[in-house]
Amino acid sequence: MQPEREMAVAGTFYPRSCTKLKRMIREFNREFDTHTIPEEAASIIPKAVIVPHAGYVYSGFTANFAYRFLANSKATRFIVIGPSHKVYFKGISGSFFEQFQTPCGDMTIDSAYLFALAKTFNIGFIPQAHAQEHSTEVQVPFLQHYFPKKKIIELIYGDISYKALSKLIAALLSNEENAVIISSDLSHYYDLHTARERDRHCLVGVRDLSLEKLRLCEACGKTGIEAMVYAAKRLKLHSLLLDYTTSAKASGDTRSVVGYMSTLFY
């Protein structure tokens, strides 16, 4: 067991300074508060969310939109699941560390629960997969902000089928102490019009809990999205799309964009 999962992308994907990080989340929440949320939606307590994982300047508001709803959760354990971007491996790697570092203080990793999961679902430990992975790391400052005293687990998946990953997600969601965070961006580097057309397959597929409609979805975390949708159908959950945007909103570049969505499952 290693002591700490160190920050790898602080200062690039999100501020390294706690003060600047808190200020950024306050800005996201000020913008959130300008939105009119229907009363029936405002009271939803999600069991899981899908959130993006780009730099906060691009996708932070969209991610925080989901975390504002997740803040209603009474879960005591938050499991972050994201794709490996830099290291190829088969299966799932778990964060076998004691703490997860953030600019505003460490979060405790639920090692005992992770060891139990590892035995049942053959979860390994590939340290290099965690060393530079941003898809999961960028979620932890949000969790530290909203749930500073709760426990977390980081799971990074490599080459794995959505059905295999879905079995794990379904088991996690069957435990009332758990909430699940699925990390994924959408299409990459198309012009804005093409990106919106391609991302529509992801949005509609998640909205309708349809693997068939997800078939043409392009996402770096598509396996996680498919697995979440498959688990949601088995568990008879509903989905609600919260926000969709692209990098063009922040950059002004409409020639090469990345798409982002946030969704909750309840």
- Stretch 174-186: mean pLDDT: 98
Tell me the CA distances in angstroms from 194 to 53, 110, 243, one per residue in order.
21, 42, 18
Q: What percent of the chain has pLDDT over 70?
A: 100
- Stretch 148-167: mean pLDDT: 98
| Residues spanned by the domain of 75 | 2-265
User: Is 173 within 8 Å of 231 (Cβ atoms)?
Assistant: yes
Say how far apart CA 103 and CA 20 lie, in whole Å. Answer: 9
CB atoms within 10 A of CB 253: 12
- Stretch 142-164: mean pLDDT: 98
Q: Residues 14-54: pLDDT tens digits?
A: 999 999 999 999 999 999 999 988 888 889 999 999 999 99
- Stretch 78-95: mean pLDDT: 98
- Stretch 142-168: mean pLDDT: 98
List the one residue out of 226, 223, 261 whose CA is nearest residue 245. Answer: 261
Q: How far is CA 97 from the centre of its chain?
A: 19
- Domain total of the chain: 1
Q: How far is CA 202 from the centre of its chain?
A: 15
- Stretch 106-132: mean pLDDT: 97
For position 155, which CATH number holds? 3.40.830.10
The residues near 56 (Cβ < 8 Å, ≥ 6 apart) are: 13, 14, 15, 24, 63, 138
pTM: 0.97
Average pLDDT, the chain: 97
- Stretch 213-241: mean pLDDT: 98
Q: What percent of the chain has pLDDT over 90?
A: 97
The residues near 122 (Cβ < 8 Å, ≥ 6 apart) are: 91, 92
Tell whether the model's pLDDT for residue 118 goes beyond 80.
Answer: yes
Enter the tokens of residue 248. 């063009």
- Structure letter (DSSP) for residue 220: T
Q: Residues 89-115: pLDDT tens digits?
A: 999 999 999 999 999 999 999 999 999
